[in-house]
Amino acid sequence: MKISVAVTLLLGLLLSGCGDSGGSTSSGAGSTYSEGSTTALSPREAEDLTYMREEEKLARDVYRTLYLHWNLQIFNNISNSEQSHMDALLSMIVKFGIPDPVTNDSTGSFQNKDLAALYHSLVSKGKGSEQAAIGVGKEIEILDINDLKQAISVSSNDELNQVYQRLLNASYKHLDAFSSYGG
C-alpha cells in the first residue's frame, strides 16, 4: 500500500504540472494540492497521513468492540473521540486530494493488513478481562503517541502538524484516562 500511495502521489505531482499555466493549486484526486493550499505533501507525509487515518480507525473500532463486550463507559467516550480524530484526518486527506484508505467503515475492516491483524489481536486480548481491556487501551494510546510523534518529526507541513499535535495531546489525555481508570 505504501508503494501505491507513493506512485499515486508522484503521478499526481507530475500531472499537476501539465497543462496548468495558471496557479499552483489543483483539487484533482491524484494531486497533493488543494484549493487554498500552498504546500504539497511529500510522499512520506501522504503515506503517514493515510496510515494515521487507519490507525485512528483501529483505536475507534477496538474501543467500540470492547465497549460492547464490557460495557465500560471509558471505551464509549474515547471511541467517540477517536471518531473525531478520524474526521480531522479525513479533512486533511480531502484537502490534499489523497485517496482515503477507509473505503469500508465497518468495524474491523482495514486496507492495511498489519492493522487488521492488530485489531484482531487487541480485541482478543481485551476480551480476557476488564483489566486486560484497559491495558489494551493504554497500548493503543502509546502506539498512537509514538506514531504521531514520528509523523510530526518528518513532516514540514504546518497545517498537518497542527492536526497531528491536537491528536497527540488528545492521545496523552486518553492514556491518562486509561492509566487512572478505577472501574
In a domain, 49, yes or no: yes
Number of domain units in the chain: 1
Residue 81, all three cell numbers: 473521540
Residue 39's pLDDT band (boundaries 50, 70, 90)? Answer: confident
Using DSSP, state whether 54 is helix, strand or coil. Answer: helix
Taking only the tens place, the pLDDT of each residue in 65-77 is 999 999 999 999 9
In a domain, 84, yes or no: yes
The whole-model pTM stands at 0.80
Between 37 and 173, where is the model more confident? Answer: 173
DSSP per residue, 67-129: HHHH--HHHHHHHHHHHHHHHHHHHHHHHTTPPPS-S--STT--SSHHHHHHHHHHHHHHTS-
pLDDT above 60 (res 28): no
The CATH number that applies at residue 104 is: 1.20.1260.10
In a domain, 1, yes or no: no
In a domain, 24, yes or no: no
Domain residue limits at 82: 42-179
In a domain, 25, yes or no: no
In a domain, 12, yes or no: no
pLDDT at residue 124, rounded to an integer: 98
pLDDT at residue 173, rounded to an integer: 98
